[in-house]
A and B are shown apart, each in its own frame.
Chain A
Amino acid sequence: MTLQATTWQTVGPFFSIGLCRLYRDNLAGPGVAGERVEINGRILDGDGKPVPDGVIEIWQANSQGKYAHPEDVQDKPLEKEFTGFGRIATDIDGYFRFSTIKPGRVPGPVGPNGKANLQAPHLVISILTRGLLRRLVTRMYFPDDPSNAEDFVLSLVEESRRSTLIAKKVEGRAGSLEWDVVLQGANETVFFEL
Chain B
Amino acid sequence: MAAIKAYRRYAPGTQPPYLHPPYVSSAKRAPSRPPIYLPHTLSEITGPVLGAEFCDLKASDLTRQHSGEPLGERIIVSGRVMDEDGCPLRDTLIEIWQANSAGRYLHNNDQHNAPLDPNFTGCGHTLTDSEGRYRFVTIRPGQYPWTNSHNAWRAAHIHLSVFGPAFATRLVTQMFFPGDPLIPFDPIFNCTADEAARNRLISKLDWDTTIPLEALGYRFDIVLSGRESTPIETPSHSHKAQT
Residues on A lying within 8 angstroms of B by beta carbon are 1-19, 21-22, 45-47, 49, 51, 53, 57, 59, 61, 67-74, 83-85, 106-112, 116-117, 119, 122, 124, 126, 128-137, 152-153, 155-157, 183-185, 188-194
Contact = CB atoms under 8 A, between A and B. Distances in A.
B42 A106 contact: yes
B67 interface: no
B130 interface: no
B41 A153 contact: yes
Interface stretch (B7-15, B70-78, B205-213): B7-15
Given A14-B109, A124-B44, A193 B28 contact: no
Contacts of A45: 28-29
Contact of B237 (A13, A70, A111, A131): A111
Contacts of B191: 9, 133
Contacts of A71: 42, 45-46, 166
Given A3-B86, A194-B168, A12 B42 contact: no
B220 to A, nearest CB: 9
Contacts, number: 265
A7 B173 CA distance: 7
Contact of A134 (B15, B110, B166, B198): B15
Nearest to A59: B167
Given A71-B46, A112-B234, 8 more contacts: A1-B84, A5-B15, A9-B173, A17-B106, A106-B43, A117-B237, A131-B29, A156-B239
Interface of B: 1-4, 7-11, 14-18, 20, 23, 25-50, 54, 82-86, 95-97, 105-107, 109-110, 121-125, 157, 159, 161, 166-168, 170-174, 188-189, 191-192, 194, 197-198, 200-201, 222-226, 232, 234-235, 237, 239-241
Contacts of B241: 156-157
A59 B46 contact: yes
B172 A1 contact: no
A145 to B, nearest CB: 16
B109 A7 contact: no
23 contacts: A4-B11, A5-B8, A6-B223, A9-B173, A9-B174, A10-B174, A11-B161, A12-B188, A14-B110, A17-B122, A18-B97, A19-B97, A21-B95, A22-B54, A69-B47, A69-B49, A71-B45, A108-B41, A109-B232, A110-B3, A116-B1, A119-B41, A134-B16
B96 A18 contact: yes
Interface of B is mostly: loop
A18 B234 contact: no
B43 A122 contact: yes
B50 to A, nearest CB: 7
Contacts of B10: 5
A3 B161 contact: no
Nearest to B43: A124
Nearest to B46: A69
Query: 6 closest pairs, A vs B, by CB?
Result: A18-B97, A131-B25, A133-B16, A131-B29, A69-B46, A85-B48
A111 B233 CA distance: 10
A9 B50 contact: no
Nearest to A192: B38
A59 B50 CA distance: 12
A20 to B, nearest CB: 8
B42 A51 contact: no
Given A109-B235, A111-B237, A134-B18, A59 B48 contact: yes
B26 A131 contact: yes
Contact of A109 (B7, B41, B84, B194): B41
Given A16-B107, A133-B20, A152-B237, A22 B42 contact: no
Contacts of B124: 18
Given A2-B86, A13-B107, A112-B234, A59 B38 contact: no
Contact of A53 (B109, B172, B234): B109
B27 to A, nearest CB: 8
B85 A3 contact: yes
